[in-house]
Structures are given as structure tokens and as C-alpha cells.
């Protein structure tokens, strides 16, 4: 069965790490990391929100093309508005794919702490750049609001599976994700 898997969750919760690993274990799957697309647009650091509006249609088109070719998609992306999720869900439906929605969650405080520690162990400039952008846009207050919107999304989307994500437990979380997405495998 063709699938479009949306990994939602607060920033820094591990969505991209898990999606990358899941795609590696499923040859032919597209890891549609919208944040990576964003970094391909000139001036994204200065116009972060505007760039997000530019890349969403690109992501929708990429998902449609890949699903149209009969291949699965995993998309690690925080989406805090039901309407945005529904746009991606419609692409899945239009291509005969099942839309699997998994929300990685931690407590609000845990999520804030994880974002603050994000990128400590790697040299990706992306993490530092995003932390600087978030700090300019409100820092912990912005992130707490994002967590609250995600909690509202979970209530509005009862088919979404909430997966508790424990800081530092990447293998455990990956195994739980795999059990959800590939039962019996």
C-alpha cells in the first residue's frame, strides 16, 4: 500500500533524524525534509517565514510526483495548522496513498530543553541558524506557542498517532515508530 507518512512534532524533537533513518531502511522512499528545501532558497535566513511559504508548494509537487511514481514519502515537518496538514493529506488521497500521521511529543518543558540543546553534537550550521532565527522571533515563547498549537492539532486529528519521544532515546523511539508504521515486520 502506497503511503505518505507525516512525522509532526515540535522543533528539535527528532523528526528529521527519524525520517532519515526510516527512509534509509525503505529503499525508494523520498525523505521530503521541507527544512532542507528551505535552505535551498536564497535569503532564507532573513526571510524564514516567507521562504516557508515558497517551499510548501514545492514540497506538495515533489510529494505528488513521487507518489505518482508509486513510491512512498516520509515528511518530517512541524505543521501547527490543520489546513496545512490537509493539503498534504489531499495529495496522498489524490494519488491513492494512505496518509499516516505520527506526532512525536514530549512535554512542553522537555521540548523547549531539547530545542535549546539541538545541534550540540553535530556541526550542521542549519541547527545554529534556526536557533538564532527562533531567538529573534520570540525564543521560548514562540516555541511554547508552537507546542500549544500542536496539542490543538492532535485534538482535531484523532487519527494521528502520538508517539512519546524521550530525549536521547533515538533507537527506542525509532523502534516504536517502526512498530507503528510496519506492524509485523
Main-chain phi, psi angles of 9, to 5 degrees = 155, 165
Q: Could you tell me where the beta strands, DSSP code E, fall in 30-184?
A: 30-31, 73-76, 98-105, 161-164
Q: At what angle do helices 108-117 and 125-136 cross, to 10 degrees?
A: 130
Task: Read off the pLDDT of residues 82-106 as tens digits, 9 standing for 90 and up.
Answer: 999 999 999 999 999 999 999 999 9
Task: Read off the pLDDT of residues 136-173 as tens digits, 9 standing for 90 and up.
Answer: 778 888 888 989 999 999 999 999 999 999 888 999 99
CA-CA distance, 168 to 185, in Å (whole number)?
Answer: 25
CA-CA distance, 170 to 158, in Å (whole number)?
Answer: 25
Pairing type for strands 30-31 and 98-105 reads unpaired
- Count of C-beta atoms within a 10 Å radius of residue 29: 18
CA-CA distance, 139 to 46, in Å (whole number)?
Answer: 16
More confident residue, 28 or 132: 28
pLDDT given at position 99: 98
pLDDT given at position 126: 63
Main-chain phi, psi angles of 69, to 5 degrees = -85, 5
Task: Read off the pLDDT of residues 112-135 as tens digits, 9 standing for 90 and up.
Answer: 888 877 766 665 666 677 777 777
- Grid cell in block for residue 86: 490537509
The H-or-E segment that residue 132 falls in is helix 125-136
Amino acid at each position: 500500500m502506497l503511503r505518505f507518512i507525516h512525522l509532526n512534532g515540535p522543533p528539535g524533537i527528532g523528526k528529521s533524524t527519524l525520517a532519515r533513518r526510516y527512509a534509509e531502511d525503505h529503499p525508494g522512499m523520498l525523505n521530503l525534509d521541507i527544512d532542507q528545501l528551505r535552505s535551498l532558497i536564497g535569503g532564507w535566513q532573513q526571510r524564514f517565514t516567507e521562504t516557508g511559504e515558497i517551499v510548501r508548494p514545492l514540497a506538495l509537487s515533489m510529494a505528488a510526483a513521487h507518489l505518482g511514481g508509486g513510491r512512498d514519502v516520509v515528511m518530517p515537518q512541524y505543521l501547527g495548522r490543520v489546513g496545512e496538514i490537509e493539503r498534504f493529506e489531499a495529495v496522498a488521497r489524490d494519488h491513492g496513498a494512505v496518509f499516516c500521521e505520527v506526532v512525536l511529543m514530549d512535554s512542553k518543558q522537555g521540548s523547549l530543553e531539547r530545542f535549546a540543546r539541538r545541534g550540540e553534537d553535530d556541526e550542521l550550521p542549519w541547527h545554529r541558524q534556526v536557533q538564532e532565527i527562533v531567538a529573534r522571533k520570540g525564543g521560548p515563547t514562540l516555541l511554547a506557542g508552537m507546542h500549544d498549537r500542536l496539542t490543538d492539532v492532535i485534538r482535531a486529528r484523532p487519527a494521528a498517532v502520538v508517539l512519546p519521544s524521550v530525549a536521547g532515546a533515538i533507537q527506542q523511539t525509532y523502534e516504536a515508530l517502526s512498530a507503528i508504521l510496519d506492524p509485523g515486520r
